[in-house]
Chain A
Amino acid sequence: MTSTQQTSFEAAPATYAPETPGGDVWVLNLGPQHPATHTTLRHVLELDGEVVLSCTVHIGYLHSGFEKLGEHLNYNQYVVVTDRMNYVSPMANNIAWHHACERLFDIELTPRCKVVRTIMAELARIQDHLVCVGCSGLDLGGFTAFIYPFNARETINDLFEEICGHRFTTSYTRIGGLMQDMPADWPEKVKRCCTKVLPPALVDLEKLLTRNRIFVERTKGIGYINHDDAIAWGLTGPLARASGVRRDLRKDEPYLCYADNWDGKGSSAVDFKIPVSRGGDCLARYLVRLAEIRESINIIMQLADNIPEGPVDVLADEKIHLPSKGRVYSSIEGLIHHFEQIMTNRGLKPPIGEVYGANETANGELGFYLVSDGGNTPYRARTRPPCFVNYQCFPNLVVGHKISDVIAVLSGMNIIAGELDR
């Protein structure tokens, strides 16, 4: 794939000289309430005819003070807030949050928990990519290409509902484990989803978009960013990989089942490839996302057949994990244990210090920087949101393009305001 228009920061400065000097410059306000901005994003565009001369991004319309809230909720309670960050793939946020917490508490998960979490993380990645790819089609005028992946995504939502009772606000992880173990027939349903539902949907999607002349011409060479700029702007995830940055935390800083010897018995890490493209444009981002969905299906199929037996909670009998509701309501020890966990002057006490834990989520590196003063709530719960860091290069991607390309770049970046503004 070669890009037709190689705009870099040197080639296209943030302001662009109008073709007709002295001509009218329009100022257009795109958003914050606009169907193609998906969420509350606002751009002030200066236009010369249809060409974007400059773009100023205003964010913060969905700022909810999540990080402030994190200083007042304990390590298990905050998982509910993480659902609301990237609400397209909430499960990945849950897992990333407790990944950081478990680093702070220095907990090694049980093999069964690692497998379930890995499957969930990959399902969340597929779910997120399906929405992003579908919306790229929708925003460029192809409504059908939106409906097909949404149909497949519904199956994943059903799987989430079955395992934790919620379709979107999953809150499935707990420190050292999960809210509950999965139902016995759940792995079969996952396999059915990965063999009978997702592959045909992907084939349909590819038929609709990949060689669709309108889609290709609207995305090829649009929103180009080169390899070095992608790194300098801090891009991670599919955006960086579409610019040739070969980086994926699942390979570079492996965790869960992406690491060798994850079960303590010498099992090798799950086998998958990192899709990388040198295109650097919207089309490359679309293709990288599609390839990542296929790799995720591959990872799930490797794991779904041999889920190890055993508990999902590490040290379930000691006072790390919230006791099950059955134990709370039927035994005095369970009730005491429960109150020891949830009362504001009790709870888990981590060591004093700071820790950073990051996971590769669908949009890139989602990290949490936790500062602990030894109390049962974090002293500071910083989120390193992939959307926020990715989105700041947006003006440089659209300057010099037509106004309709702004929509194409925006939908290809998959900006989620819940995570952007927090």
Chain B
Amino acid sequence: MSNEVHSIIDLLMEDFPAIDFAAGPLLAGGAHRPQQMCVRIPPDHLLEVMCFLHDDGRCAFEQLCDLTCVDYLDFPNAADRYGVVYSLLSVSQGHRLWAKCFVNDPAPEVPSVTSIWKGADWLEREVYDLFGVRFTGHPDLRRIVTWEGFEAHPLRKDYPLRGQGERVNFERVTRDSA
């Protein structure tokens, strides 16, 4: 399994010589865990690389298994703040690859991959909702698990665990005001 992924990473480096993929395992070492490979893709090349990974028969990543984000605000030695993590899966060949796309404040923006994988729709909306990373080209970028009109992005590291008083300050609808 890992040989196939290594050959895919070689393919990527051949086809996109201008990009520094910084390929490496998500977590190095270990006797019992499988090696999970990750590449780094800059946001301005994201769509072309993702198209290649989806369309090329040797890669054949037909499924976007997961799309999430990590806020590296307090992480030791982190250079960028938001890392959007794509977990790609090839159903036909059974291999997985992780891809990370780093963006920063004040306007974190990543191109949307909904045109490549339909299943990216809600996953991108969730990341937008909870992290505030915008996905350009998303057909319907609305909040998904919190309510409309909520302004914060709760999974950011600078958002407190107990909230910012939303529960106390929530607009109350009474019989008279409704």
Contacts and interface: CB of A to CB of B under 8 A. Distances in A.
Interface of A: 9, 59-60, 63, 65, 67-69, 71-72, 102-104, 106-108, 228-229, 231-235, 245, 247, 252-253, 351-356, 365, 367, 369, 371, 373-374, 379-380, 382, 384, 388-389, 391-393, 421-422
Given A108-B32, A354-B27, A59 B64 contact: no
A247 B91 contact: yes
Contacts of A355: 26-27, 33, 36
Contacts of A234: 63-65, 117-119
A69 B123 CA distance: 20
Nearest to B160: A68
A352 B76 contact: yes
A389 B33 contact: no
Given A232-B63, A374-B76, A65 B154 contact: yes
In this complex, the interface size class of chain B, counting residues with CB under 8 Å from chain A, is 35 or more
A68 B161 contact: yes
A232 B68 CA distance: 17
Given A231-B62, A369-B87, A106 B30 contact: yes
Contacts, number: 121
B121 to A, nearest CB: 6
A9 B121 CA distance: 15
B118 A393 contact: yes
B65 A60 contact: no
**Which of A234, A371, A384 is packed against the most chain B CB atoms within 10 Å?**
A234
A252 B94 contact: yes
Given A353-B28, A392-B122, A231 B91 contact: yes
A382 B143 CA distance: 18
A253 B30 CA distance: 17
Nearest to A391: B122
Contact of B161 (A72, A235, A253, A389): A72
Nearest to B66: A384
Interface in B32-78: 32-34, 36, 38, 62-66, 68, 70-71, 74-76
B91 A392 contact: no
B7 interface: no
A234 B126 CA distance: 15
Given A355-B27, A369-B68, A392 B155 contact: no
B90 to A, nearest CB: 10
A231 B94 contact: no
A384 B65 contact: yes
Nearest to A382: B68
